[in-house]
Amino acid sequence: MSEVKKQIRVGVIFGGRSGEHEVSLMSAQSVLEALDPARYIVAQIGITHDGAWLTGSNVLQAMLDNNLQDLTPATILPDPSRSGLSSIRNTPKGQILELLTELDVVFPVLHGTFGEDGALQGLLELADIAYVGAGVLGSSLGMDKGIFRDVMAANGIPVLENVVILRSEFKANPEAALNRAEAVSVYPLFVKPANLGSSVGITKVRSRADLYEGVMDAARYDRRVLVQRAVNAREIEVSVLGNDKPEASVPGEIIPSREFYSYESKYIDGTSQLIIPAPINVKTAERVRRLALKAYKAVDCAGLARVDFLLDKDTSNVYLSEINTMPGFTQISMYPKLWTISGLPYPALIDRLIDLALERKADRDQTERRFRG
């Protein structure tokens, strides 16, 4: 008789306190549909815009319908002796915690702040639960576009000239902040929140008046605003998968339906083209794959990441744009499509990510937590 494998208990977390809340719901829908019920016992955990954690039989649909009254408040405690998903119940004597299910692994399908930036990863480390994706360090470094570029430059990876402006600095002295931004390069410039993705809050600016408005908009989403030189570029992306020995997919190219790959062109109109493999020469393809792996290792990434590049149409120079440690997983997202073309279909990709999370946890468990001098 063949051995019956134990089902893996997976907590899928989505939503979140981020400007990318809605994108997370779209990604989670695809992930939940791909999880094999014969292999996994799935607990859905939704986080509202206000940060409330909720669970139930179909949390995703309830959140999409904005109908939350039948959901149960829940939490994951930062206590390894009680690791798992707990409900919060009101009783005449006050609130009590009840363990709903232990969790073997968490799949945080969260984009942006409080999900992709190391905050949730820190909680899961404290709870001693395996989770898909980068750890605290890799998540936080990948999330902050300003510091990430400093780390890339220190590792000899080409990035575009940029400067980070603090929201407080801009409010105190807008003219000085704009002068510092304009010192980066001649127009046009790109302005974006330092800690956000999915093209939320990003504008291309061509004048000082545009720059002022762009910084104002980006500062709505983060206290740190990145201003970067714009180039006439093709957008090339590489998917990376693995822990200590990562692999890179074939590169893909995005042809935006608008002037750049905006939020609308990613998720709303659906008319941007994804060309896989990217129509670039072999030398350039190998260069971006090599740089993607170098960047991945430089921030101690794990599990997965999509690494984005700008290929200058005028000079053929390659610049690393950013690394996304929890890239979009919608049906039109580049990350899973690159792996499908590379020979790893969507359901197998999800299985592999969960296996990598468990592998990473097993590696962490080898670390001594007490000094035995």
Q: What's the CATH code of the domain at 343?
A: 3.30.470.20
Do 153 and 201 belong together in one domain? no
pLDDT of residue 196: 75
- Inside any domain, residue 368: no
Do 357 and 246 belong together in one domain? yes
Q: CA-to-CA distance for 311 and 185, rounded, in angstroms? A: 18
pLDDT-derived band at 93 (thresholds 50, 70, 90) equals confident
Are the C-beta atoms of residues 55 and 67 closer than 8 Å to each other?
no
Average pLDDT, stretch 85-92? Answer: 88
pLDDT of residue 258: 59
Which residue intervals of 219-318 are DSSP H helices?
Answer: 263, 282-298
Length of the chain: 373
For 121, the domain range is 8-131
Do 106 and 188 belong together in one domain? no
Cα–Cα distances (Å) from 250 to 65, 216, 320, 328, in that order, read: 38, 37, 16, 17
Do 243 and 316 belong together in one domain? yes
Are the C-beta atoms of residues 337 and 277 closer than 8 Å to each other?
no
The CA radius of gyration of the chain, in Å to the nearest whole number, is 21
- Inside any domain, residue 3: no
pLDDT-derived band at 1 (thresholds 50, 70, 90) equals very low
The angle formed by the CA atoms of residues 278, 227 and 284, to the nearest 5 degrees, is: 20
Do 28 and 125 belong together in one domain? yes
Task: Judge whether residue 242 has pLDDT over 60.
Answer: yes
- Inside any domain, residue 136: no
Closest by CA position to 190, among listed 162, 165, 169: 162
Q: CA-to-CA distance for 244 and 285, rounded, in angstroms? A: 22
- Which residue do the tokens 């898909």 mark? 132
**H helix or E strand, kind and range, residue 218:** helix 208-218
Task: Judge whether residue 21 has pLDDT over 80.
Answer: yes
Task: Judge whether residue 164 has pLDDT over 60.
Answer: yes
Contacts made by residues 98-104, CB under 8 angstroms, sequence distance 24+: 100/43, 100/55, 100/72, 100/74, 101/9, 101/11, 101/41, 101/43, 102/9, 103/9, 103/10, 103/11, 103/43, 103/76, 103/129, 104/8, 104/9, 104/10, 104/130, 104/358
Q: Model confidence over 110-157: pLDDT tens digits? A: 998 899 999 999 999 999 999 999 999 999 999 999 999 999 999 999
Q: Model confidence over 177-187: pLDDT tens digits? A: 999 999 999 99
Do 177 and 279 belong together in one domain? no
Output the CA torsion sign for 264, 266, 271, 273. positive
pLDDT of residue 261: 47
Q: What is the CATH number of the domain that holds 188?
A: 3.30.1490.20
Are the C-beta atoms of residues 117 and 108 closer than 8 Å to each other?
no
Task: Judge whether residue 201 has pLDDT over 90.
Answer: no
- Phi (first) and psi of residue 304, to 5 degrees: -155, 160
Task: Judge whether residue 297 has pLDDT over 80.
Answer: yes
Indicate the residue type of 243. Answer: N
- To the nearest whole percent, how much of the chain has pLDDT over 70? 94
Do 153 and 173 belong together in one domain? no
Are the C-beta atoms of residues 364 and 310 closer than 8 Å to each other?
no
Task: Judge whether residue 355 has pLDDT over 80.
Answer: yes
Are the C-beta atoms of residues 227 and 218 closer than 8 Å to each other?
no
Q: Model confidence over 256-286: pLDDT tens digits? A: 875 554 455 554 555 678 999 999 999 999 9
Q: CA-to-CA distance for 292 and 286, rounded, in angstroms? A: 10
- Inside any domain, residue 373: no
**What is the rounded average pLDDT for all residues in the chain?**
92
Q: What is the CATH number of the domain that holds 64?
A: 3.40.50.20
The residue with greater pLDDT, 196 or 358, is 358
- Which residue do the tokens 């930062």 mark? 78
Do 153 and 293 belong together in one domain? yes
pLDDT-derived band at 34 (thresholds 50, 70, 90) equals very high
pLDDT of residue 262: 47
Are the C-beta atoms of residues 103 and 85 closer than 8 Å to each other?
yes
Average pLDDT, stretch 230-257? Answer: 95
Do 150 and 290 belong together in one domain? yes
Indicate the residue type of 66. Answer: N
Do 224 and 237 belong together in one domain? no
Q: How many domains does the chain have?
A: 3
